[in-house]
Amino acid sequence: MAWDCGTGNGQAARALAEHFRHIHATDLSAQQIAQAAPDPRIDYRAAPAEVSGLPERSCDLVTVAQALHWFCGDPFYAEVRRVLKPGGVFAAWTYTLLRGEPALNSIVEDFYRNTVGPWWPPERRWVDLAYRDMPFPFADIATPDFEIRLEWTLEDLLAYLRTWSATQRYMKEKGSDPCIELGERLLAIWPRPNDGKSIIWPVALRCGRFE
């Protein structure tokens, strides 16, 4: 059995269901849970990360996909240790800032840090650190490197950047879209905006065993 905490709409839980007989998938947001695709192998439930409602020593694996930075404190880790079986594994991952060709990296990083940087929540720093140096009370397991790689047009990239929570907060407070100016800057290095460019997200995986 596995527990996917902070499951959102269940993307990671559905992948885990290919490898485990039963998945408990929880999220603080009932609205997110309502959007999850039903699966007979997955038990979806709205619950805080620190109070899963699962039996003691019931899980072989606990996962957190793109969410550990929101609740990586002692109460959550105590709950993980409570529900993991001895020898069970805890795994958390996040994707960090996208990468492309050097000129694109420079423009996007300036947008990330300077344009919308003040609108990122403090917890975002753990993502910037690739989940290193954060609280992690487990025996680390060495893991290989992973990445997400896509071919995107300029409009694909701008649409994605508009989904950033910092961009959304900027737009709400300032009443303007910072991606318009960003798009103009990117046109200088993307003269044919309908052509695809390779966009890569490094994936940071922190994995440990409960002894």
Q: Other C-beta atoms within 10 Å of 3: how many?
A: 29
pLDDT band at 38 (very low <50, low <70, confident <90, very high): very high
pLDDT in tens, 177-190: 999 999 999 999 99
Return the closest-CA partner of residue 116 out of 159, 168, 157: 168
Distance CA 119, CA 117 (A): 5
Mean pLDDT on 32-46: 96
Length of the chain equals 211
Is the domain defined by 1-95 classed in CATH 1.10.3720.10? Answer: no
Q: Is the pLDDT of residue 105 over 90?
A: yes
Does this model's pTM top 0.85? My answer is yes
Q: Domain locations in the chain?
A: 1-95, 97-128+145-202
Closest among 55, 57, 59, 81 to 4, alpha carbons compared: 59
Please work out, in degrees rounded to the nearest 5, the angle formed at the alpha carbon of residue 64 by the alpha carbons of 59 and 68: 130
> In CATH, what class is 97-128+145-202?
mainly alpha
pLDDT > 90? residue 211: no
Phi, psi of 109, rounded to the nearest 5 degrees? -65, -35
